[in-house]
Amino acid sequence: MSRPRIFEKPVAWLLGQQLLGGIKGMLLYTAYGAKLDPRDWMAPEERNFATPAAEAKGEFWFDYMSDIGDGTKAMYGTAYLALSDLWTNLPGNGTSLPGGALPPEVGTTANGRTFSLPRGEFLFIGGDTAYHASDYLSLVNRIQRPFNYAYEDLKSQKLISDDDPRRPIFGIPGNHDYYDQIDGFRRQFRKPVRKEGPLPPKRAGGDHAQLSVAGFERIQQASYIALHLPFDWWLWGFDTESISDRRDQHLDRRQEEFFKGLSRNGDRFKEPDKLIVATSAPSTIFGQIADPNDQKTSKPLKTLKLKRPFLPTNGDLATTGDAALDEGQCRLDLSGDVHHYARYWGPQAASSCRKHNGAPRPSANSYASVVSGAGGAFHHPSTTYNNQICEQVLYPAEDKSRAAVADKIFKFWNVVSGGYVWLFGLIIAFAIYFGVTVPQSSRQFISNLGILNTLQLTRWERIQPTIFQPGEAPCAPVQPLGLWTSLGVVTEPWQPGNCTPANPGFLFPEASTWPLDLKIGQTFIFLSLIGALVTLVLALFTKTIFDDTVSPFAKQSPNGKVVPIVAGLALLTGLGLLTVQPYRDHITPFVSSLIVLYSIIVGITAVVMNVRYGEYLFRKSFVPPAEPSLKDSVTRFIDYYLPWVLWIVAITIISAGLWLFGKNNLPAYMISDIVFIVVLASTVAGILVLSFLASGALLFGKSPVVRFVGKLLIGVWHLALQLLVPFVLVRLGSWLDWLLAAILLVLPIGLAKYLLARNSRFLTAVLWFVYGAVVLTLPYTTRMFFPLAPVFTELTGWQGLIPALVAGAFGAVFCCLWTGWYFGICFAFNGHNNEVGGAARIEEFKELIRFRVTPQGLTGYVIALDGVSDVGEPDKDGRIKDGRDLKPKLIDVFHLQPKPRIPNQA
């Protein structure tokens, strides 16, 4: 009895289980990827397919796909094609597409078709072998299984046989292969010690290698590969994902020496005349001219002294393509990474693939740059376009891609199923509602913010102490810090007003009554807090303070940066705390909690600096000591004592914050206050950073002012909706408001889908603003017509948890709703392409390329699949659909030939 087939859905990229499960590896790679070089095990070699027998056939075929192991229905579809001999109808020698609106169909049998596309002699994977990371289980579930399913189906149809020789499978790693330091990549592509597993449906035993791919065998020995093809063609696959030993360049020296050693003219490197370059990232994509400083493609090619026909001279695209090649040369740049198909340069296509295009559309006979990243991963929208250079061919067309995204992105349940975004919404809404309405310290403080009272979101309360600690003279004059009296900044003690033993007369909200020295202390605290946060970011995420890529033998010490930073932060923090400390009896409990949080942040900054400094000292320990000098003596002194100073600073500041201000609030309230402000500040910062730093090409082509204002407006409106809608609906909403809100969750979806699919950017943005405003003001609007009471009246004590939990439930739903709308609006204006693709998780629009090499040139046959999601579903007769129900088609055929040699005029 055959086992039931398991089809995995595409990875939930919005913080789904699989992504969260692999987040540790991703973070480790991000933090230490440049320090580890897993290529030490590799023994690169040239693989020769240019045999006399191969060349005698007059043609040589191979297959290419990239970005594959995601949704297994998609992977099944492309695996089915890669394991099959294919047929289609093409005119003449089959080097171009025929005219007509419908692309030629492709089938696994001739059935009247005249042109054969035989199965490739090998399969080349262009990076990102599985998602979220190419670890063992992902490779089993998302690569091995769908290949096995495809093999079994083809075998049952007698389209493949166990007697057919296994074909080699090669690959280069992408970023998702590196998230486990290419351990999974090594397992999947390196030649195994044990024999390959049996062909399905037989199951492997202990004497078989793991991760066998049905119909293929592994013979590779490194993460980079050189394949010598018939008719003097070469395929060079580079591993350009790891920075390794080169600063700002993803190409290690071993690769450079290996590839340069393959092609020489005497003692000098000579670029092969006919060359296919495979990289994990494209040089040209989204209609944007390549960056000459791109670390994964452009700079490595420059290091190898390979031509870069994708780079214009002085912005002139006429200098690219064929014009950048020498006579007799032919070149194809091949990559994945972006999950759709796009061809730049190459033969002129019949018509432009962009409806609103004002950019040049260069063609070439001897050069093409191809992005082929639709092997199995979710669809990256092809609508995103930066209007600097136009593709010759694009799949899917921008209108189909936009319509597919529009159909998914506004449906909040798609975002719910795409990961744990809903959980963040629940936490944010619960923490904010609870913090504003339940704990005394935060509730009373926030109730004194006038705007919230005006909006009826809070009810004013007098701020009262949560801990009553009467001193000998609780309302005695406050003696300022001696420093300020000695400097003449203040001349006399401060006398608190309206002070009683039960009410110490808090300084907030009457800022006009603050003495000058308290304002100075507050300024110091703000400056040191900003300095600590900036230092944290610089120390953790940049090389500004600690540059790990600098060799320790260069003797570049960070002391010149670290010492002033530590001294400045310690001085500002100490002065701030000591200046404010005399007034602590008159500081509200909530602000006391904030000061404790502030001291913890500064202390954590000191600890992080200590850890990073320890890494520097570890690397420095391998360097022999220098000759004695005054400078070296000072450096050694700092190296020895600075770690101790950092620990002392961290412990002292945290202890001072807790001791001086922690006693002004109950521990439960203090923890609640800290959680509340951390959640609120993280949400504000995260959403605004998302809009500014993670939105990709949002508003590309607009002036800097327009881009800044546009991003700010989008970010602020998204922030307002995420923070306020659940709070307002629970705080003020009646049952009618809740019912209308439920209807409004789905009511605008059809109109939004219609507008976005037709690229009505401005109207889509207006709809978002109007829609959000209607939901946000719903309780105020309905009161004008139906004066109904809110569902929840004032609940005190632990009863306040009930509406807070309801607010959390509202937040879980509305967070997903507004996240989808935010991505949809950004997508309309060219932003968040990657995140939109991950949120929509569109499994359709798959493709692979079947290449034919002949003495005359290279031809690529791009075979696409639109309906892979039907696989595994029953048809009207109850039959489970399989590869026979796929409808592959040719969406591009391009032919490249060597640049003609100009006859000698002499």
627 Cβ contact list (under 8 Å, min separation 6) = none
- Long-range Cβ contact pairs of 95-101 (< 8 A, separation 24 or more): 95/859, 95/893, 95/895, 96/347, 96/893, 96/895, 97/350, 97/890, 97/892, 97/893, 99/350
The answer on pLDDT for 99 being more than 70 is yes
Average pLDDT, the chain: 90
Could you tell me which residues come within 8 angstroms of residue 720 by beta carbon, excluding any fewer than 6 positions away?
772, 776
Strands 216-218 and 167-171: parallel
First-last CA distance in the chain = 77
Q: Which tokens hold the place of 905? A: 């005029």
- SS3 for 658-681 is HHHHHHHCCHHHHHHHHHHHHHHH
Indicate the range of 124-128, 581-585, 675-679, 773-777 predicted with least confidence: 581-585
Write out the two tokens for 168: 């080699």
Predicted pLDDT at 906: 46
Closest CA to 218 of 181, 185, 247: 185
Q: HSE (CB half, 13 Å, CA atoms) of 529?
A: 15
The per-residue pLDDT for range 538-581, each reduced to its tens digit, is 998 888 898 876 766 667 788 899 999 999 999 999 999 999 99
With cut-offs at 50, 70 and 90, classify the pLDDT of residue 23.
low
Give the list of residues 6+ apart from residue 723 with CB closer than 8 angstroms, or none. 428, 432, 680, 683, 684
User: Which one has a higher pLDDT value, 166 or 42?
Assistant: 166
DSSP labels, 192-248: PSSBPPPPTTS---TTB-TTPPTTEEE-B-SSSEEEEETTTEEEEE---S--TTSTT
DSSP string, 717-760: HHHHHHHHHHHHHHHH--HHHHHHHHHHTTTTHHHHHHHHHTT-
What are 454's two structure tokens? 């005006």
What is each CA distance from 573 to 517, 598, 600, 604, 654, in whole angstroms? 15, 9, 11, 13, 11
Burial state string for 539-557 with b = 16 or more CB within 10 A and e = fewer than 16: beeeeebbeeeeeeeeeee
Note if the bond before 198 is cis, omega within 30 degrees: no
pLDDT at 542: 86
Which phi and psi (to 5°) does residue 64 adopt?
Answer: -135, 135
Distances from the Cα of 524 to the Cα of 369, 578, 579, angstroms: 55, 10, 9
Residue 316, Cβ neighbours under 10 Å: how many? Answer: 10
User: CA-CA distance, 818 to 714, in Å (whole number)?
Assistant: 12
CA 599 to chain centroid: 32
Do 350 and 99 form a contact (C-beta atoms < 8 A)?
A: yes
Give the tens place of pLDDT for each residue, 367-425. 999 999 999 999 999 999 998 999 999 999 999 999 999 999 999 999 999 889 999 99
Strand order in the sheet with 216-218: 216-218, 167-171, 123-125, 60-65, 846-854, 857-865, 889-896
Q: What pLDDT is attached to residue 1?
A: 44
SS3 state at 132: coil
Question: pLDDT tens for residues 301-329?
Answer: 999 999 999 999 998 999 999 999 999 99
Closest to 219 (Cα-Cα) out of 46, 102, 469: 46
pLDDT for residue 37: 64
Edge to edge, the sheet with strand 115-117 lists: 106-107, 86-88, 115-117
DSSP character at residue 582: G
More reliable by pLDDT, 524 or 621: 524
Comparing CA positions, the residue from 885, 905, 662, 840 lying closest to residue 13 is 840
pTM for the predicted model, two decimal places:
0.91
Q: What is the mean pLDDT of residues 220-224?
A: 93
Q: What pLDDT is attached to residue 351?
A: 80
Determine contact, residues 577/525, Cβ cutoff 8 Å.
Answer: yes
Cα gap 445→467, rounded to integer Å? 15
In this predicted model, what pLDDT tens digit does every residue of 702-759 receive, in sequence order?
899 999 999 999 999 999 999 999 999 999 999 999 999 999 999 999 999 999 999 9
Q: And the tokens for 340? A: 């759709």
Structural contact between residues 823 and 435, judged by C-beta atoms closer than 8 angstroms: no
Find out whether 835 and 15 touch, Cβ atoms under 8 Å. Answer: no
